[in-house]
Amino acid sequence: MKRFCTLVLSCFFLNLAAQDLQVKESINNPSTNINDGVVRLSVSGGTPPYVYKWSNQGTPLSSDKATGLTEGIPYTVVISDARGNSVTRVYTVPTEAIAEIFNGTMTPAVNALGDVLFWDPFAAFGLYDPVVYAEKKRVPIPGWSPEVTDRFVLKRWIAAEGQKVAKGDAVAVVSRGAGSDITVMAEAAGTVNHLVAEGGVIYDANNPEDVIQQGAHYLAEIHYDQPVVMTHPNGDPISNGIPFIVIWLVLGATFFTLRMGFINIRGFRHSIDLAKGKYDDPDAPGQVTHFQALATAVSGTVGLGNIAGVAVAVSLGGAGATFWMIVCGLLGMSSKFVECTLGVKYRDILPDGRVFGGPMNYLRYGLEKRNLKGLGRVLAGVFAVLAVGASFGGGNMFQANQSFEQLAGQFTVLQGNGFWFGVVTAILVGVVIIGGIRSIAKVTGRVVPLMATIYVLAALAVIIMNIQNIGPAFSAIVEGAFNPGALKGGIIGVLVVGFQRAAFSNEAGVGSAAIAHSTAKTNHPPSEGFVALLEPFIDTVVVCTLTALVLIFTGMHEVEGMAGAQLTSDAFGSVFSWFPYVLGIAVFLFAFSTMISWSYYGMRAWTYLFGKSKKVEMAYKLLFLVFVVIGASVSLGAVLDFSDMMILAMSFPNIIGLYLMSGEVRADLDQYFKKLKANQLFKKAAK
């Protein structure tokens, strides 16, 4: 009996020991580069196989190794065995370089600001479920990519229509050109639905409709018995939310469009006349012409987002995102009209000719006129702080960093020389911005038309050389915008992606452009509002749309897993092998013009906070140039992300003020139209 008890107790304790999961970790910081931390686990005990639930969403459940981790940030992993026993561990990759310390310190701030900007109020109040569900799994041609040049025919169905299949079952046999047959396997369990008849062509690279049509390379669908939650590699559900910042910007733009009587449409022709200089009064107060103010403001918005951001939007939302980008761009024209009209109306011109205007002025003094002095001071102060931060990051370091990355990718001699690239760029920027707004306006007045012409002509050339795709391309855009069955994420998902890209690109409602337009030579504030409404049209309706059309006409919108700028570069390169080099130079010009424009925006916010003396201005300019070098030579990750978010956050105080003063702008607009119809405005004599 004693031996029996001993045996039972021994088995009991051995079983307990087997259930205990023993975890040994190896934490590695392989370099001074940010976001390259590695944690590797060695697990024993329990009952294999083990499941690893990492807080890092990019790490698969089956992986005992997490890579690409941010140094200085704690990561959680829950390890479970086959019997459900689990243990939780928290690991932090130590920081070693200053850049890693900055990045790790700023990451929580980025997450906090992101929680505000990208909060989904509709989901929060239970109005809809943001989680993405899949009702079916589409079956593609094995090994297909947009670069294939073959013709694929459905030779024989193995699984009949409506047949139940398990994952890994044979579904069909496909013949590829003159090559061997391919057996297609089911990638999920469910009911088979045929999309192509036996003997039918699945995909033909020489057929424009197949190249353009989204999903032309799918031959079947497997419908799940129950909708399946789409997940990240770590098992977290994927959500398609409606970010609050997008709602804020789009609702504002829609309100101003209605409040101003569709000024974006009925004022378009007059805005062209103003930009062409027909109403330029040389004796009017201000520093630059209507066109120079427009060029300066456009240079601040047209940039890498028009190249990389659009590629991301189209790859995520499909061709249909293009339609909603255009709609949002048209609505944004009204926001620009309102904010830039107020920018001129409440500007302050010093005896030496320097102009101080923008949201800081109209938020403070415009609201003070409405007995909202306290609110005005708070909104103006918040806006100024955000604008200064945005100018150093999103308007400076981000531009220097990304232009260097793009050029170094095309010109290998630059690789590893980010510091010297930054020094040269800082010198070029310094030569321009030391001269003030007149110097900035002269340069942007030349650079913006040049870079826009290069990019537009190249895009048109690609479109013309693929003109046979025009019908399928526009069909894909319209169908993708309105047909939920053909969308990535449903109609709401595509609409949000399109609106988000447009709102982030043209900055309508952000208020930054009002700073540049406040310097225009005019006696009539609404005249500059008319000029400003051309910005979203140029930025979004023209440049963003052309980028999207290049991607769609070349079929590159179907490519997944590629960085935005590289995707656009490859789309151009598919027609002109040498164009990626030209695109690299265009990106630098975009970045350069954005930096000099944002230097002025930041300086005006800086002087609002610290005084209007020329010494204060010079201090800001020198600091700005230092940040150019830092941006080109150091990877700052979360620092740049936070600053980029500050640009969007500027819209909160700005749009509140625009709502409160919209009635005043409408009254000024009506008065302006009366003067225009009565021919009471200054107009140059016809030559």
Q: pLDDT for 369-412, tens place per residue?
A: 889 999 999 999 999 999 998 888 878 888 888 778 777 777 77
Read off the tokens for 195: 């999309």
Q: What is the reported pLDDT for 11?
A: 47
Q: 145 in the Ramachandran plot: left (φ > 0), alpha (ψ -120 to 50) or beta?
A: beta
Q: Which regions in the chain score pLDDT beneath 70?
A: 1-19, 178, 214, 300, 303-306, 308-309, 312, 316, 436-437, 483-493, 555-567, 569-570, 573-576, 635-636, 640, 682, 684-687
Q: What is the reported pLDDT for 594?
A: 83
Residue whose C-alpha is closest to residue 129's, from 244, 229, 39: 229
Considering just the CA atoms, what is the radius of gyration of the chain in Å?
29
pTM, to two decimals: 0.81
Distance in angstroms (rounded) separating the CA atoms of residues 640 and 404: 15
Distance in angstroms (rounded) separating the CA atoms of residues 672 and 564: 43
Q: Which amino acid is at 146?
A: P
DSSP conformation class of 34: T
Read off the tokens for 4: 């029996």
- Helices 579-610, 614-633: inter-axial angle, 10-degree rounding: 140
Tell me the C-alpha to C-alpha distance, in Å, between residue 512 and each of 146, 147, 298, 371, 390: 39, 41, 11, 25, 10
DSSP conformation class of 238: P
Distance in angstroms (rounded) separating the CA atoms of residues 591 and 580: 16
Tell me the C-alpha to C-alpha distance, in Å, between residue 229 and each of 235, 245, 254, 487, 559: 10, 26, 34, 17, 23
Q: What angle is formed at CA 476 by the lines to CA 470 and CA 477, rounded to 5 degrees?
A: 90
Contact 659, 128 (CB under 8 A): no
Q: Which amino acid is at 214?
A: Q
Q: What is the reported pLDDT for 593?
A: 81
Distance in angstroms (rounded) separating the CA atoms of residues 663 and 480: 38
Contact 69, 35 (CB under 8 A): yes
Contact 29, 96 (CB under 8 A): yes
Q: What is the reported pLDDT for 13?
A: 44
Number of H helices, E strands in the chain: 28, 16
Read off the tokens for 481: 């915008």
Q: How do strand 65-69 and strand 37-44 relate by DSSP bridges? A: antiparallel
Read off the tokens for 607: 């002087």
Distance in angstroms (rounded) separating the CA atoms of residues 191 and 184: 15
Collapsed DSSP state (helix, strand, coil) of residue 174: strand
Collapsed DSSP state (helix, strand, coil) of residue 44: strand
The alpha-helical segments, DSSP class H, found in 2-97 are 2-19
Those residues with Cβ within 8 angstroms of residue 363's Cβ, 6 or more apart along the chain or in another chain: 376, 379, 380, 383, 653, 654, 657
Distance in angstroms (rounded) separating the CA atoms of residues 319 and 313: 9
Contact 516, 593 (CB under 8 A): no
Q: What is the reported pLDDT for 162?
A: 93
